[in-house]
């Protein structure tokens, strides 16, 4: 059965690649040229693009869902129970993080909140960021109440505004003495198709441009913090949907795709590609950057788009795949594990190094993306 599903998943992916909206070179860089035959195929593919996309998502994930669940359950089961009956008790063998500072974008809900809770349990100073005052205030209170760690800070950050990103970064550089880990967890799913005040596609700006700018602006503090043998770490949260993305240099901010999940997939592929390029530029700086793919997780990201589509995706994913706590495990592994800290430019899945889609590793497209960004 698993072999059949795997074969179907591969077949679906090949079909979608045949029907892609862009003509792709060997490096995965779109030149947006189509032959008459391709135009005919595009018209056929447009009949049920969303259905095909969802079907492919399910087929590509179902064959490995049992392995993923087993792996994540094993990771969580390794944590011993608390040794003291208090709100501040934590497992004795967990790595302690007193004196460390971690920034989690989107750390106020879903998987980001799970990450922030774990780090707070370990004694870290945790900065959580999101664009919503009430959500951030409530999240901080929850983290403090559950962990007993008062060293939790909430700051406003809207990745959909370059002005907000610059203001946030300037505040961090002014108020923080160190930054050990930057976890770029925040993202947007499939909202309305529009351009921001900065002239960028909203999904691309939140998921890619805003995140990229934040990393660049915070690099001085990360470099200051990193030490030989204990580098500062940057995590970029990608998605299994990156496999359906395209790095179309001439149309990164396009707003009229047949289906909005294509934009989301593009943004996640761009993160992997830019991490590879940035990792080269970070060599010798005691800062490493890696991608984290949490797998299929039911989070609030899908509520950001069409209400009915979002509800369908959440029900589907909750039924088949990971909880937010399980999804958070890979990010925690890459943020805390000593061996993971020795990797630069890697792609992690299920708490181990893995491989992204081949086109993500094209040096030509990653360099072009860096120059464009």
Residues designated as active site: 264
Question: DSSP label at 206?
Answer: I
Place of tokens 């060997």: 26
Name which of 225, 234, 237, 204 is nearest 348 in CA terms: 237
Q: How far apart are CA 183 and CA 112, in angstroms?
A: 9
User: What separation in angstroms does the CA of 264 have from each of 78, 141, 189, 203, 278?
Assistant: 34, 31, 6, 6, 21
Question: DSSP label at 31?
Answer: -
Measured in degrees and rounded to the nearest 5, phi and psi for residue 155 equal -135, 145
Residue 296: CB atoms within 10 A of its CB come to 25
Q: Is the distance from CB of 109 to CB of 139 less than 8 angstroms?
A: yes
Name which of 141, 94, 67 is nearest 335 in CA terms: 94
For the chain, give percent helix, strand, coil, nearest 5. Answer: 55, 15, 35
What is the distance of C-alpha 63 from the center of its chain? Answer: 22
In order, the DSSP letters of 181-205 are EEEE-----S----B-TTSSBHHHI
Q: Is the distance from CB of 305 to CB of 260 less than 8 angstroms?
A: yes
Q: List the structure tokens of 61.
A: 């994930």
């Amino acid at each position: 059965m698993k072999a059949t599903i795997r074969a179907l998943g591969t077949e679906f992916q090949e079909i979608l690649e045949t029907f892609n909206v862009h003509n792709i070179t060997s490096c995965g860089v779109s030149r947006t040229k189509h032959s008459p035959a391709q135009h005919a195929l595009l018209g056929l593919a447009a009949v049920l693009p969303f259905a095909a996309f969802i079907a492919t998502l399910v087929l590509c994930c179902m064959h490995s869902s049992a392995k993923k669940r087993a792996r994540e359950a094993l990771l969580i089961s390794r944590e011993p129970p608390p040794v003291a009956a208090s709100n501040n008790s934590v497992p004795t063998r967990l790595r302690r993080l007193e004196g460390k500072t971690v920034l989690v974008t989107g750390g106020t809900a879903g998987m980001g909140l799970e990450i922030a809770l774990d780090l707070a349990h370990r004694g870290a100073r945790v900065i959580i960021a999101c664009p919503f005052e009430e959500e951030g205030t409530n999240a901080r209170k929850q983290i403090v109440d559950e962990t007993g760690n008062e060293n939790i800070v909430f700051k406003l950050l809207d990745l959909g505004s370059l002005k907000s990103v610059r203001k946030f970064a300037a505040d961090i550089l002014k108020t923080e003495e160190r930054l050990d880990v930057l976890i770029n967890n925040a993202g947007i799913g499939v909202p309305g198709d529009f351009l921001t005040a900065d002239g960028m596609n909203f999904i691309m700006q939140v998921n890619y441009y805003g995140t990229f700018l934040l990393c660049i602006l915070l690099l001085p503090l990360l470099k200051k913090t990193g030490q030989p043998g204990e580098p500062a770490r940057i995590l970029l949260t990608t998605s299994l949907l990156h496999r359906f993305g395209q790095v179309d240099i001439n149309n990164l901010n396009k707003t009229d795709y047949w289906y909005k999940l294509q934009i989301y997939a593009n943004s996640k592929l761009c993160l992997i590609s830019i991490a590879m390029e940035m990792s080269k530029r970070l060599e010798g700086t005691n800062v490493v950057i890696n991608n984290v793919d949490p797998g299929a997780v039911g989070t609030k990201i899908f509520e950001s788009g069409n209400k009915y589509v979002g509800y369908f995706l959440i029900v589907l994913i909750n039924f088949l795949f990971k909880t937010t706590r399980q999804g958070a495990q890979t990010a925690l592994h890459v943020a805390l594990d000593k061996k993971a800290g020795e990797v630069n430019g890697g792609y992690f899945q299920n708490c181990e190094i893995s491989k992204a889609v081949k086109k993500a590793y094209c040096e030509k497209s990653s360099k072009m993306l860096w120059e464009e960004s």
